[in-house]
């Protein structure tokens, strides 16, 4: 029997990324409040939020300084916009701060409200840039299978997950996908990570040459793949890829929506993985998820073209109502102040070895094939046979069952395609809380193993 709140939810809300018919039967987990790394449901039961909400609440829940920053800005200037040359202090200060932090040459910052919007803007600007340079054919975008870049029409076209394409008439023409850089699943027997990276770079080069270098505008990549499975790239991957991109004048877009602001123990994921992008997309942890905010870095070459196009066309025809929303910018300024003052990112780097040791140990579990990550993010893959890496039928929903058991153990994690389970806790998590998280996840895996046996599930 669903509660009153659950019934109201089922009758009124269309939930993202949810099995809608199952949801009508099971109802939602209704959360009421949060504190630190914990969230609490309407019955008062606590859960470790092992996914930072959706990869974003890096500073945890109910941070009084972030709440106060929003309150003060709401009382001072709750809204204005950046259209037609208007501006406000929070947007200016935040843009200055982000320019200092960016690990790539940055002339300007463009703000929006989400990672999807940021990546959609990247596509538009890549097209606009090449039109301005007299290269109207140089428009194709290459992404990776299992990459995740958002759900707007352009960003979903870059996303490399079937659920984002089936029956949506996506991807649009001009969006291409190359192999997932997942050594565990994609490497040949005995192939080293470096050799695998070289093979992936050769595949990228073959794709560019097949399409024609004069038609390929950009390549987009997450430093560590998030929604595609929390997948770490193989050793040498980005240097190998970048050598190809440089040969054919293809811009590299770093999608830092998940990895940015400390997740890998560095301000940006690019710094942890020898990645040298032309431009960066960011969102999520820039405000610790408290207020929607996203954006991109504008490199000097692009900035020069944008200014020239305004002279030619009479203006810059892009932007949204909430680009640089003052409340969001004020919260982001405070979040970055906290990251710096409290050494949150350095602390994440210091805790990462402990986190990764506990994660790696799960590879010894009966049903886990791979358990790997970087910083304070990781993924594990449930398999039916460890030696052959064979999996269970997708319809069995083994990873989903594991996540349900974890919830019963007081832990929120996320299942992803390919029977993978992702872990991405707030950066403020303590070593003791890391242990509690993995103790609960281990119990969930034990229960999943027992459930598999009771159901008699077999490998595909």
Domain ranges within the chain, ordered by starting residue: 4-62+343-455, 66-341
Tokens encoding 384: 């039916």
Is the distance from CB of 445 to CB of 402 less than 8 angstroms?
Answer: yes
**Strands, sheet with 294-298, edge to edge from the N-terminal-most edge strand:** 108-112, 294-298, 279-282, 251-255, 216-221, 140-144, 175-178
- pLDDT tens series, the chain, 460 aa: 567 899 999 999 999 999 999 999 999 999 999 999 999 999 999 999 999 999 999 999 999 999 999 999 999 999 999 999 999 999 999 999 999 999 999 999 999 999 999 999 999 999 999 999 999 999 999 999 999 999 999 999 999 999 999 999 999 999 999 999 999 999 999 999 999 999 999 999 999 999 999 999 999 999 999 999 999 999 999 999 999 999 999 999 999 999 999 999 999 999 999 999 999 999 999 999 999 999 999 999 999 999 999 999 999 999 999 999 999 999 999 999 999 999 999 999 999 999 999 999 999 999 999 999 999 999 999 999 999 999 999 999 999 999 999 999 999 999 999 999 999 999 999 999 999 999 999 999 999 999 999 999 989 8
Residue corresponding to tokens 């050598």: 243
Q: Which two tokens stand for residue 365?
A: 């579990």
- The 3-state DSSP class for residue 72 equals helix
For the beta carbon of residue 307, count every other beta carbon within 10 angstroms.
13
pLDDT value, residue 4: 87
Question: Which pair of structure tokens corresponds to residue 226?
Answer: 């998030």
Q: How far apart are the first and last CA of the chain?
A: 35
What's the token pair of residue 355?
């986190």
Give the pTM: 0.96
Q: What is the structure's pLDDT at 460?
A: 85
Q: State the fold for domain 66-341.
A: 3.40.640
Q: What is the pLDDT of residue 1?
A: 57
CA-based Rg of the chain, rounded to a whole angstrom?
22
Longest dimension (CA), the chain: 70
How far lies 437's CA from each of 96, 348, 429, in Å?
Answer: 37, 16, 10
Instruction: Report the C-alpha gap between 198 and 238 in whole angstroms.
Output: 10
Buried b (16+ CB within 10 A) or exposed e, 251-266: bbbbbbbbbbbbbbbb
Tokens 């958002």 belong to 150
Three-class HEC string of 272-326: HCCCCCCEEEECHHHHCCCCCCEEEEECHHHHHHHHHHHHHHCCCCCCCCCCCCH
CATH ID of 4-62+343-455, from 3.40.50.720, 3.60.110.10, 1.25.40.10, 3.90.1150.10: 3.90.1150.10
Is omega for the bond preceding 123 within 30 degrees of 0, making it cis?
no
Place of tokens 């190359």: 178
Q: Do 4-62+343-455 and 66-341 fold alike per CATH?
A: no
Rounded to whole angstroms, the Cα distance separating 247 from 271 reads: 22
> HSE of 54 in the Cβ direction (CA atoms, 13 Å)?
14
Those residues whose C-beta lies under 8 Å from the C-beta of residue 60, and which sit 6 or more positions away, are 34, 35, 36, 37, 288, 426, 428, 429
- Distance CA(382)–CA(403), nearest Å, equals 12
């Amino acid at each position: 029997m669903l509660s009153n709140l659950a019934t109201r939810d089922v009758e009124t809300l269309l939930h993202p990324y949810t099995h809608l018919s199952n949801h009508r039967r099971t109802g939602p987990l209704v959360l009421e409040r949060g504190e630190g790394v914990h969230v609490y449901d309407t019955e008062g039961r606590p859960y470790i939020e092992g996914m930072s909400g959706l990869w974003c609440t890096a500073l945890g829940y109910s941070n009084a300084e972030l709440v106060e920053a929003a309150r003060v800005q709401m009382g001072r200037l709750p809204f204005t916009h950046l259209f037609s040359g208007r501006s406000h202090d929070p947007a200016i200060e935040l843009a200055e701060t982000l320019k200092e932090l960016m690990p790539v040459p940055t002339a300007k910052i463009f703000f929006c409200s989400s990672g999807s919007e940021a990546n959609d803007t990247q596509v538009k600007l890549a097209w606009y840039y090449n039109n301005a340079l007299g290269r109207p054919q140089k428009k194709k975008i290459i992404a990776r299978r299992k990459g995740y870049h958002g759900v707007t029409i352009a960003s979903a076209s870059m996303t490399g997950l079937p659920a984002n394409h089936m029956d949506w008439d996506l991807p649009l023409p001009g969006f291409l996908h190359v192999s997932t850089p997942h050594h565990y699943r994609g490497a040949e027997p005995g192939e080293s990570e470096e050799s695998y990276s070289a093979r992936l770079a050769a595949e990228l080069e073959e794709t560019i040459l097949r399409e024609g270098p004069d038609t390929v505008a950009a390549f987009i990549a997450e430093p560590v793949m998030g929604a595609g499975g929390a997948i770490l790239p193989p050793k040498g991957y980005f240097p190998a890829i970048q050598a190809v991109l440089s040969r054919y004048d293809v811009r590299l877009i770093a999608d830092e929506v998940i990895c940015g602001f400390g997740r890998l123990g560095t301000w940006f994921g690019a710094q942890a993985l020898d990645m040298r992008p032309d431009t960066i997309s960011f969102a999520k942890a820039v405000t610790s998820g408290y207020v929607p905010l996203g954006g991109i870095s504008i490199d000097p070459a692009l900035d020069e073209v944008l200014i020239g196009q305004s002279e030619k066309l009479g203006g810059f025809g892009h932007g949204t109502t909430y680009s640089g929303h003052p409340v969001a910018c004020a919260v982001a300024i405070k979040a970055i102040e906290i990251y710096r003052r409290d050494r949150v990112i350095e602390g994440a780097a210091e805790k990462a070895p402990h986190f990764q040791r506990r994660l790696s140990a799960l590879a010894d579990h009966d049903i886990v094939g791979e358990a790997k990550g970087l910083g304070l993010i990781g993924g594990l893959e449930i398999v039916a046979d460890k030696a052959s890496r064979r999996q269970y039928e997708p319809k069995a929903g083994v990873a989903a069952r594991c996540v349900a058991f974890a919830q019963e153990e007081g832990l929120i994690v996320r299942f992803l395609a390919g029977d993978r389970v992702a872990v991405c806790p707030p950066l403020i998590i303590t070593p003791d809380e890391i242990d509690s998280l993995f103790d609960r996840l281990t119990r969930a895996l034990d229960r999943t193993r027992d459930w598999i046996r009771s159901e008699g599930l077999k490998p595909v």
